[in-house]
Amino acid sequence: MNEKYAPLFEPYPLRSGITLKNRVVMAPLTNYSSHDDGTVSDAEIRYYARRAKGVGMVITACIYVTENGKGFPGQFSGTSDEMIPSMRRVASTIKEKGAQAVLQIFHAGRMAPPELVPGGDVVSASAVSDNPDTGVVPRALEEEEIEEIIRGFGETTRRAIEAGFDGVEIHGANFYLLQQFYSAYTNRRTDRWGGSREKRLAFPLAVVDEVKRVVAKHAERPFLIGYRFSPEEPYPDGITMEDTFVLVDALAEKELDYLHVSLQHFWSKPRRGADPNRTRIEQIQERLAGRTALMGVGSIYTADDARAAIETGVPLIALGRGIIIEPEWVEKVQEGREQEIATTVRPDAQERLEIPGPLWERMMTVEGWFPVEKESAAHLQTK
């Protein structure tokens, strides 16, 4: 291995007592490939097995915690104990390859397609529309429903423990329910769950507290807890970097294992609420001041991309699209073959890369999501 990449492969101890064997993490990415009953498919198992060997930790695609929280077709479920054997298949597959297995838990809120939730009853913090995918106006959750969803996060965490996962990542990013409660754009409530910034924080922090309570009660070995967040929203009254600094401070007090900032590009800069000349991740890392580990992500494809990211001082680097395109990313860097790492995907590579069909279809059809080799695509069309 080229020594300049050695920092990527240093072990990293987390607060929970778990030590990651290196600093490279497989980021969560929805794969749309579970069965209709919410159980995982064989294609998903092969997909995880192919990518879990080299990384220190695998964060799964998000699992929904209550029936009205399903956000995607082909999403796997954590809503009942009947799902534990399915969840165990994922955890065992990842751990057998030598990585820590972390389950991402979530509720879609107003981002849920109505055809995927009972009675088409889409819910959120408030009845604010503008879902770019459905245009549906959600129903504002009642107090007892909010408490039920909080318990749902806890119960899914218990199931993750019983299924053999090494931790959970609370999904508070990407416009889903936890973010909907924190954003002044989507939370217009006047009760204890909304209004001031501090009250808008109440729901995400209640979920964190419930997950921590369940882990303390049920985990008989070290079990990690992470939290993923999006640092900004494009809406006029949406989350700003200033709001994110307050969120980061509140989460740091919860003594989690890590915070995972959701970014399309690792080096992106703020829109508002912070210094526009410095990257978001640099300023978040500065705000954390070592209180909790930070995980960075976003358009990291090459070994040099990852080295530059780790040199910012961020201790953990997540690969999403990069490790889907190049399942042997870690092994190639460790073996000094980093020049062989693929950074684009060929349209004829699905079987070789062991990517489930529904995910592959979206990779090929959603413009700009994955770097697809256009020349190869044109060649295939003329054959």
Angle at alpha carbon of residue 89, lines to 83 and 94, rounded to 5°: 135
Biggest CA–CA distance in the chain, Å, is 62
Backbone φ and ψ of 227, nearest 5°: -140, 130
Angle of the 143-163 helix axis to the 84-96 helix axis, nearest 10: 50
Please name the residue that has the structure tokens 């989690």. 256
Active-site option among 47, 48, 64, 176: 176
Active site residue 176: yes
Burial 136-169 (b: 16+ CB within 10 A, else e): bebebbeeeebeebbebbbbbbbbbbebbbbbbb
Strands 123-124 and 139-140, by their bridges, are: parallel
Helix, strand, or coil here: 259?
strand
Residue partners of 147: CB distance under 8 A and separation at least 6: none
Please name the residue that has the structure tokens 């987390």. 14
Question: Which residue from 33, 116, 48, 29 is spatially nearest to 88, judged by alpha carbons?
Answer: 48
- The number of angstroms, rounded, from the C-alpha of 182 to the middle of its chain's C-alpha atoms is 17
Angle of the 202-218 helix axis to the 143-163 helix axis, nearest 10: 40
* Catalytic site positions: 176
